[in-house]
A and B are shown apart, each in its own frame.
Chain A
Amino acid sequence: MTPRLLRQRLAFAAIGAALLAALPAAAQERTIKIYGFGAKSGVVRIFGLNSEAAMKAAAEQINKAGGVTLGDGTKARLVVDYLDDRCNAEEGINALRRIASQNDAIVAVGPTCSNVAEPVFGILQKKVGDASDSGLQFPLYTDVAAKGGLASISQWAFRNVPSEAAMYKSLFEWIKATRPDVKTIWGGVEKDFAHSNATYNVMKANAEKAGFEVKGTSEWLLADTTFSTQVREMRRGEADLVAISAHPFTTCGVLKEMQRQGVKPKMLVGLTSSSSMETLQGCAAQAEGVLIPTSFAPVTPEAKMAAEAVQAQGANMDLHNAAAWENIFTLKEIIEKQKIMGKPETVQADRQKMREALAGLKQTQGLLGPVGRGDDREAIKPFLFVQAKGGQWTVAHKPAP
């Protein structure tokens, strides 16, 4: 071997050794994973897509600002892993069990559907420290599933979901105060969807409390294709206000049938979940004027920035995934304050710390302002009323906190 060849080989060997030495350093970059789960397929796929996009956008913001500081002082990148439960209870339970079996899972955000949240919360340990309860000991911080009061099922369940009872109470009181010509209400409800059905009861109770007369209710199913009988009942009711508690597909079907039959109430009120682009995409013209309470609108600098970041991820921000965004920032703070280690050997301790910190929260920072926390582990979120105008959601009123 000539000296020149030897030198060349030594040089290559040195470069190779340097590269090999560098590899573990790169691999040692710490990450901390936040799991999410919700519907990413099936007809409510949009909920999961939007939540995942919001979680990833929030994690990206945090990583750009330097990441999250772990208990041992090292910086880590936040990584989001989102699982699909198809809005199906069984698959939701499977998703949570899979997440809980990971040695890097310290908390999960989800699910998106109330019919999944209820049984999923049911497999968690009900009371912390109860040795006789073999339920999962894993903290869950729900962003979307909207049916009220679900967090009471388990002390490991926490929710950052607006209180629909508070929102509709405020909405009907505001209508009562500002529209004295509106006295009677006719309701419409998608009877076979847990959230729609539960929220309609909330709407009705609060409308009656505010002094309105609820003259009747029309009912239909999530996959119905014809609404003529139901809308004829509405027409006969001649109510001043029609309140529809249904998701966008049937909301649009009913609104179009109302237009056909010439049903023109003085006011229209919709379900919180319908204050999204789906309704406007399906029936912007017929939805004109519909009033909906929501816990998100891009009205603060933070909310505007968040909406833009989520849009960059190819999704839209609404009241549901705004909560997912907020959850990621809250979890980041908890990880830092509780000195969470994020190591396989500390995973059980990290989960305990996470639960205790979530249980101890009295207030978090939301996109519309401070978010309170009740003793029932449910959020007390600021909200406002939006109205469909010219194919856009515009702010109609922001109640005083």
Chain B
Amino acid sequence: MSLLDLQDLVQSVADGVMFGATYALIGIGFTLIFGVMHKINLSYAAASVGAAYLSLLVVSLVPTPLVYLAAALAGGVLGALVYVVCFRFLPLDKPLATLMSTVGMLLLLEEAIVHLTAGMPQNYPAAFSGANIDIGPFMIRGDLLFVFALGCTAMVGLKLLLERTRLGLATRAVAQQAVAARLCGMGVDRTNASTFVIAGLLGGTAGAMTGAAIGVLSPLLTLPLTVKGLVVTVIGGLGSIPGAIVAGLIVGGVENLFQFWRGVAERDIYVMLMLFAFLVFRPGGLFKPPAGRD
């Protein structure tokens, strides 16, 4: 391997790690719903992309940061909608029912995007376009650094929310024992809806950041982001928010490493092998959450 090859390899992995920040943002939302609320929402990534699409309604009216804010808000609304349609009126003791309802919602959201845009890719405004940091022969994208910082902020924010606020306490209580939580006077539906809205706000932001990082939105994004979000959630450890961030970066890095090394035809095989390796040898993920009551 020549020096140039080595430089390219390092740069590719670095690019992948940085792009992994977008997977991390999606993974945090997944882990909040899966790991903390103990609910399965497979439409999460599709709703995130849908929120980014909705923010295009204001793209010509407001500056770019407000477009991202609009995406976050739209994500919150879609989060509430997903809760009402897929969870609120379904028996929660039958997880397969909610699993299938969210698969249906995933397909519905994807098809809605396709019908509204005829499947045409839409230009999405980039964050810090062209703001790159050069370190010797290497380059780090400023926009992806921003996404990474956003992920870390979300991690801290969610940790504080879950551990230091009444809503966080209620969320954990409802997830652990809904009947007991209701007997203690907690509004189970309100708590669930609030958590879905918060996860949706984060999802909308993730959708916007993914669109900004690629520069284009397409309904093609929904399925790969769902798969990446699930992989990140498993590798990071169900319910571990720091785990989701680290796993997102690892998945991005591994993806690009094998893209460089083995090419596009084999790349995803290795990512999936990594997932299976975690499921077999470390099923709790990178940061296994403490057992028992949290």
Offer 14 A-B interface pairs, CB within 8 angstroms, sorted by A. Answer: A41-B114, A44-B119, A223-B224, A226-B15, A226-B255, A228-B12, A228-B19, A229-B15, A232-B12, A249-B216, A256-B215, A281-B123, A282-B216, A283-B121
Contact B216 A43 (CB under 8 A): no
Taking beta carbons and an 8 Å cutoff, which residues of B are in contact with A?
4, 8, 11-12, 15-16, 19, 22, 111, 114-115, 118-123, 126, 130, 132, 139, 141, 210, 213-216, 218-221, 223-225, 252, 255-256, 259-260, 263-265
Question: For A224, what are the chain B residues with a Cβ–Cβ distance below 8 Å?
Answer: 224, 264
Size of the A side of the interface (Cβ < 8 Å), in residues, is: 35
Q: A219 CA to B19 CA in the complex, in Å?
A: 18
* A293 lies within 8 A of chain B by Cβ: no
Q: Find the residue from B11, B130, B216, B265 having the highest chain A CB count within 10 A.
A: B216
Question: For A205, what are the chain B residues with a Cβ–Cβ distance below 8 Å?
Answer: none
**With contact pairs A45-B115, A283-B215 given, residues A225 and B224 touching in the complex (Cβ less than 8 Å):** yes
Contact A283 B216 (CB under 8 A): yes
A244-287 vs B, Cβ < 8 Å mask (1 yes, 0 no): 00001100110010001100000000000000011001111000
Q: A22 CA to B225 CA in the complex, in Å?
A: 60
Question: For A41, what are the chain B residues with a Cβ–Cβ distance below 8 Å?
Answer: 111, 114-115
Known: A229-B8, A248-B121. 12 other contacts (CB 8 A): A42-B114, A223-B224, A225-B221, A226-B15, A226-B214, A228-B12, A253-B215, A256-B215, A282-B122, A282-B216, A283-B121, A284-B123
CB distance from B53 to the nearest CB of A (A): 13
Which residue of B is nearest A192, CB measured? Answer: B264
Question: For A281, what are the chain B residues with a Cβ–Cβ distance below 8 Å?
Answer: 120-123
Q: Find the residue from B22, B115, B122, B123 having the highest chain A CB count within 10 A.
A: B123
CB distance from A105 to the nearest CB of B (A): 27
A333-355 vs B, Cβ < 8 Å mask (1 yes, 0 no): 00000000000000000000000
Taking beta carbons and an 8 Å cutoff, which residues of A are in contact with B?
41-46, 49, 191, 219-226, 228-230, 232-233, 236, 248-249, 252-253, 256, 260-261, 277-278, 281-284
Q: A384 CA to B130 CA in the complex, in Å?
A: 35
Question: For B223, what are the chain A residues with a Cβ–Cβ distance below 8 Å?
Answer: 223
CB distance from B56 to the nearest CB of A (A): 11
Contact B123 A221 (CB under 8 A): no
Which residue of A is nearest B219, CB measured? Answer: A43
Question: For A249, what are the chain B residues with a Cβ–Cβ distance below 8 Å?
Answer: 121, 216, 218, 220
Q: A230 CA to B214 CA in the complex, in Å?
A: 14
**With contact pairs A223-B223, A228-B19 given, residues A277 and B120 touching in the complex (Cβ less than 8 Å):** yes
Q: A221 CA to B118 CA in the complex, in Å?
A: 21
Contact B259 A45 (CB under 8 A): no
Question: For B22, what are the chain A residues with a Cβ–Cβ distance below 8 Å?
Answer: 225
Question: For A219, what are the chain B residues with a Cβ–Cβ distance below 8 Å?
Answer: 263-265
Q: A42 CA to B215 CA in the complex, in Å?
A: 21
Q: A397 CA to B84 CA in the complex, in Å?
A: 57
Question: For A46, what are the chain B residues with a Cβ–Cβ distance below 8 Å?
Answer: 118-120
Q: A252 CA to B114 CA in the complex, in Å?
A: 18
Which residue of A is nearest B19, CB measured? Answer: A226
Contact A229 B12 (CB under 8 A): yes
Contact A226 B120 (CB under 8 A): no
**With contact pairs A281-B121, A283-B215 given, residues A225 and B15 touching in the complex (Cβ less than 8 Å):** no
Q: A150 CA to B108 CA in the complex, in Å?
A: 34
